[in-house]
Amino acid sequence: MSDTHAQTVAFVRETQIPPAPPPASETGVVKWLRENLFSNAANSALTIAALAVIYMVLQNTLPWILNGVWTTSSLAECREILQGKTGACFSVLTERWNQLLYGFKYPSDAYWRPNLALVLLLFAAAPVLFFDLPRKLLIFTAIYPFLAFWLIWGGTLMVPVVALLGFAAAAAVFQTFSKSSFAIAFFGAIAAAFAVWILGGLLIPEGASENAWLAPVPSRDLGGFMLNLMLGVTCVSLSLPLGIALALGRQSDMPLIKWMCVIFIEFVRGVPLITLLFVASVMLAYFFPPESTVDLFLRVVIMITMFSAAYIAEVIRGGLAALPKGQYEAADSLGLDYAQAMRLIILPQALKISIPGIVNVAVGLFKDTTLVSVISMFDLVGMIRGPILASTEWNGVYWELLGFAALLFFVVCYGISQYSQWLERRLATDHR
Amino acid sequence: MSTLTDPPNEGFRLSMLINDTRYRSLTFQVIAAIVLALCIWYLGNNLIQNLRAAGLNISYSFLGDSAGYDINQRLVEYDSQSSHARAALVGVLNTLLVAFLACITATVFGVVAGVLRLSNNWLVSKLMAVYVEIFRNIPVLIWIIIIFTIMTAVLPGPREFRGDDPSASMLFDAFAFTNRGIYTPLPWFQNGIFESTAMNWLLILAGFALSWGVVHQINVWASRKQEATGVRPKTLLPVLAAWLVPFLALTMIMGLTWEYPELKGFNFTGGIKVGGPLIALWFALSIYTGAFIAENVRAGIQAVSKGQTEAAAALGLRPRRVMNLVVLPQALRVIIPPLISQFLNITKNSSLAIAVGYADITATLGGITLNQTGRAIECVLLLMLFYLTASLVISMVMNVYNASVKLKER
């Protein structure tokens, strides 16, 4: 039968036709463009408007950046080279590079010290930020603050060593007694630390800093972006423990402690940072003993730490409140006391929930360190507005300098927020 | 059968102060109270000694003295003979002015950017993401300085508007952008019903209140009709008329005219002058805070689950009504609380005015007055008191509103 059929039909295709490609408008770039940029009239209008905005921005900035001059020693020379063309005068950055980074008074032969401190900071921060690294590196993190203090301020090595020994003694006492009673261990540790500091203070000879290996640098000589970084790192790390204490205090059953914390937090959150910096610069000196001289840097650190501690406390309070009540009850039913329950059960979970908020506060705080320029400290913004723009060579170079400052802050802040997002993904233990 | 016995009645022992939970909290609080009292005594003692050594005392009588400095930007009468208290009042009003303006524009920027960031147009949503990231990650102080620099260094001076072939010209012959500020036309009434301009403007405001009442009545009537007949009557024309007629009638009667800024001598006169520092602060605060609000708005809209939109569509609602009746009311509940704290941030960040010389409370009371009189403690305390009050009032007002849009649960 099949033979007859084969004879009557002229042609039978024995293989399948390969599928035809989809229409050109439904594949690849064209499809993507149609779906994402030109899906309807309103969308097309938006796209064209956005393109126009991008074009205008690039048209104004690209020639300015590409024609930039990097190697002159004043604005007038820049203008001579450019001869009326648009172009940036980036030579202000190369010529004043050290001033922008270290301020104008930090001794130039000592620039390696803050540089080394910054490099070591990366090593010290690494085990805190990335917990896959071996835990033993944390020992270096513990030593780092004292090392960095010695590197940046110079002077005799005795001061940071005594300070470190005080903390070491406190830790040792705490370890010994924490098995029996938390309160005894806690107050014993404080007493031990003070004992070591007072003894050590007596041991350090007068004028030991004068002929030390690293020449001492007074705090008022610090400046530039280094000052912003130092204020940011110091205040964030100091305000974390203070913030945790305040948050726990606010949750406390003891009315007196609770109200002390509430009043402190609400007061600090209700006023702008500038007023607190005014307190640091003009008012705080009245509250110290008459003959003492506490330098401005320390006063500013105290006030900024208080400021960010109040905000961090509120973030952590949110984390504590988000924990189910069962966690507290479970800790109680295991027979843990308050310190153990907090340390082993509550805080690890609450802190994990509060990480994004804490990072937000840290980024905000780092940006707010620029405010110290208002109370005439020469941080990056203070350097730009003060000595550099006021100099005869660079009077009028606004955009290069402000753009540089903006870029530095953007890189650091954006980096921190990207880290926090990575950490959140990393710590997500719930499988949703 | 066993009976429960009372625990043995022990006498009070000293160790119970630290080991017994009944007494322990008392012990800790007593210790805290003692430490607090010691701290206050120590600081207060230092303060008294330092003040005595410097020959100072705490007194607020300097507020009545003549201030002796001028303020360009002011909302109330003030001259250099006025008192420090008056200067502080000028500063308070200026702070409130810039905070109010910035709150409004920041909300507009934030809502537009937040909604556009969720747009399904790839380019626009990426552009908005870039805006948010750039403005969030650069300090607001730098933004204020950048915009202030544009205002003072880039815009032309008034003299460039002069001559037969000026290098700068006014926009629509009405707006002049100069490095001394922006000049806009000033509306005023030729034959106002009241003597004072403020009363005339209040009258216009009363006209709008009347319009709002009438529009509300029209809507109520339309809803009743819809419930009775199932068809909503068309209300567009009456509503438009209700809004426009009282306003137009009032302005016609009072003869609303515009006073245009004019170049006279070396500067512009007439019209409203908005100073460069105010513009810089206003614009920088709005565009910076707008980036934060955009993120809040985006989070709020994304928090409304997709099922809600689909359910509304299944009920046959049109997209606009889905947005107005279903998505927005739920999104607002998520957006409002962070929005309140952004408004608080704007109020507090307005204290950065001191960096560009805008005469807000920080610049008058905490700046010039403090430096002239040397009354650091009094000035800083008053400054903090003002900001605390402002923060508390804003959060109170917003909490009332927040409570009214909250989910009504059992």
Domain ranges in chain B?
Answer: 84-145+274-404, 192-255
B362: chain A residues, CB-CB within 8 Å: 272, 274-275
* φ, ψ for residue B257, nearest 5 deg: -130, 165
pLDDT at position B386 is: 92
User: Are the Cβ atoms of A255 and B29 closer than 8 angstroms?
Assistant: yes
Q: How many CB pairs under 8 A join A and B?
A: 149
Taking all residues of chain A, what is their mean pLDDT, rounded to a whole number? Answer: 86
- The Cα of A154 is separated from the nearest Cα of chain B by a number of Å equal to 31
How far is residue A341's CA from residue A292's CA, in Å, rounded to a whole number? 42
Minimum-distance CB partner of A272 among B25, B136, B387 = B387
Q: Which of A242-246, B14-18, B129-133 has the lowest mean pLDDT?
A: B14-18
> Could you tell me the pLDDT band of residue A377, with boundaries at 50, 70 and 90?
confident
Please check whether residue B333 touches A, CB under 8 A.
no
Nearest residue of B to residue A368, measured between CA atoms: B139
Residue B226, number of CB atoms within 10 A of its CB: 12
Helix/strand/coil for A379: strand
> Where do the H-state alpha helices sit in B230-327?
236-254, 276-303, 306-314, 319-321
**Cβ(B53)–Cβ(A292) under 8 Å?**
no
pLDDT at B139 over 90: yes
How far is residue A372's CA from residue B284's CA, in Å, rounded to a whole number? 19
Instruction: Return the percentage of chain A with pLDDT > 90, whole number.
Output: 25
**Cβ(A406)–Cβ(A108) under 8 Å?**
no
Helix/strand/coil for B262: strand
pLDDT at A182 over 80: no
How far is residue A380's CA from residue A388's CA, in Å, rounded to a whole number? 10
How far is residue A277's CA from residue A375's CA, in Å, rounded to a whole number? 7
pLDDT at A277 over 80: yes
Show the tokens assigned to A324: 């189910």
Query: Within a 13 Å sphere around the CA of A379, how many CA atoms are in the beta-carbon half?
Result: 24
CATH architecture of B84-145+274-404: Orthogonal Bundle (1.10)
Of A360, A370, A372, the C-alpha closest to A424 is: A360
How far is residue A39's CA from residue B124's CA, in Å, rounded to a whole number? 13
Of A319, A318, A235, A311, the C-alpha closest to A280 is: A235
The C-alpha torsion from B244 through B245 and B246 to B248, rounded to 10°, is 80
A291: chain B residues, CB-CB within 8 Å: none
Higher pLDDT, A294 or A190: A190
How far is residue B342's CA from residue B327's CA, in Å, rounded to a whole number? 22
How far is residue A158's CA from residue B319's CA, in Å, rounded to a whole number? 73
> Could you tell me the pLDDT band of residue B402, with boundaries at 50, 70 and 90?
confident
Write the CB contacts of A339 (distance below 8 Å, at least 6 apart in sequence).
Answer: A182
Of A377, A279, A267, A282, the C-alpha closest to A313 is: A267
Interface test with B, best of A276, A282, A369, A379 (most B CBs within 10 A): A282
Query: Within a 13 Å sphere around the CA of A268, how many CA atoms are in the beta-carbon half?
Result: 21
A370: chain B residues, CB-CB within 8 Å: 139, 141-142
> Could you tell me the pLDDT band of residue A296, with boundaries at 50, 70 and 90?
confident
Higher pLDDT, B166 or B41: B41
User: Are the Cβ atoms of B50 and A286 closer than 8 angstroms?
Assistant: yes
Instruction: Report helix angle A224-251 to A255-270, nearest 10.
Output: 150
Kindly give the pairing relationship between strand B272-274 and strand B181-184: antiparallel
- Bridge partner list, B268: B263
CA A19 remoteness from chain centre? 56
How far is residue B132's CA from residue B353's CA, in Å, rounded to a whole number? 23
Query: Within a 13 Å sphere around the CA of B125, how many CA atoms are in the beta-carbon half?
Result: 11
Query: Within a 13 Å sphere around the CA of A269, how many CA atoms are in the beta-carbon half?
Result: 20
Angle at B110 between CA B108 and CA B111, to 5 degrees: 70
Give this prediction's pTM: 0.85
Q: What is the pLDDT of residues A3-13, one digit of tens each?
A: 555 567 788 88
Of A154, A126, A149, the C-alpha closest to A138 is: A126
How far is residue B181's CA from residue B274's CA, in Å, rounded to a whole number? 5
Higher pLDDT, B109 or A27: B109
User: Are the Cβ atoms of A287 and B47 closer than 8 angstroms?
Assistant: yes
pLDDT at position A309 is: 95
**Cβ(B225)–Cβ(B232) under 8 Å?**
yes
- Domains of chain A (ranges, CATH numbers): 1-62 (no CATH), 102-106+220-427 (1.10.3720.10), 158-213 (no CATH)
How far is residue A267's CA from residue A264's CA, in Å, rounded to a whole number? 5
Q: What is the pLDDT of residues B349-358, one digit of tens each?
A: 999 988 888 8
Show the tokens assigned to A59: 């048209």
How far is residue B107's CA from residue A138's CA, in Å, rounded to a whole number? 45
Helix/strand/coil for B182: strand
CA B87 remoteness from chain centre? 21
Write the CB contacts of A99 (distance below 8 Å, at least 6 apart in sequence).
Answer: A223, A224, A383, A387, A388
Q: Which of A204-213, A332-341, B180-189, B313-322 has the lowest mean pLDDT?
A: A204-213
Helix/strand/coil for A15: coil
Write the CB contacts of A266 (distance below 8 Å, at least 6 apart in sequence).
Answer: none
R_g (Cα) of chain B, nearest Å: 30
CA distances for A349 relative to A279, A319, A323, A346, angstroms:
36, 8, 8, 6
pLDDT at position B407 is: 67
- The Cα of B105 is separated from the nearest Cα of chain A by a number of Å equal to 20
> Where do the H-state alpha helices sit in A384-397?
389-390
For the segment A20-30, the average pLDDT, to the nearest whole number, is 81
Helix/strand/coil for A396: coil
Show the tokens assigned to A142: 């513990």
Please tell me what DSSP assigns to residue B10. P
Dihedral sign for Cα atoms in the order A67, A71, A72, A74: positive
pLDDT at A239 over 90: yes
Q: What is the pLDDT of residues B267-315, one digit of tens each?
A: 777 777 788 888 889 999 999 999 999 999 998 988 888 899 899 999 9
pLDDT at position A175 is: 86
How far is residue B60's CA from residue B184's CA, in Å, rounded to a whole number? 40
DSSP code per residue over B122-173:
HHHHHHHHHHHHHHHSS-HHHHHHHHHHIIIIISPPGGGG-SSS-SS--BTT
How far is residue A180's CA from residue A154's CA, in Å, rounded to a whole number? 41
pLDDT at position B131 is: 92
pLDDT at position B10 is: 63
- Interface TM-score (ipTM) > 0.95: no
CA B168 remoteness from chain centre? 34
Query: Within a 13 Å sphere around the CA of A290, how many CA atoms are in the beta-carbon half?
Result: 10
**Cβ(B395)–Cβ(B340) under 8 Å?**
yes
Higher pLDDT, A277 or B186: A277
**Cβ(B359)–Cβ(B71) under 8 Å?**
yes
Q: What is the pLDDT of residues A31-80, one digit of tens each?
A: 888 877 887 888 888 889 989 999 999 988 888 888 888 888 888 888 88
pLDDT at B140 over 70: yes
> Could you tell me the pLDDT band of residue B6, with boundaries at 50, 70 and 90?
low
Minimum-distance CB partner of A413 among B137, B376, B392 = B137
Of B359, B344, B341, B350, the C-alpha closest to B390 is: B344
**Cβ(A287)–Cβ(B47) under 8 Å?**
yes
Please check whether residue B37 touches A, CB under 8 A.
no
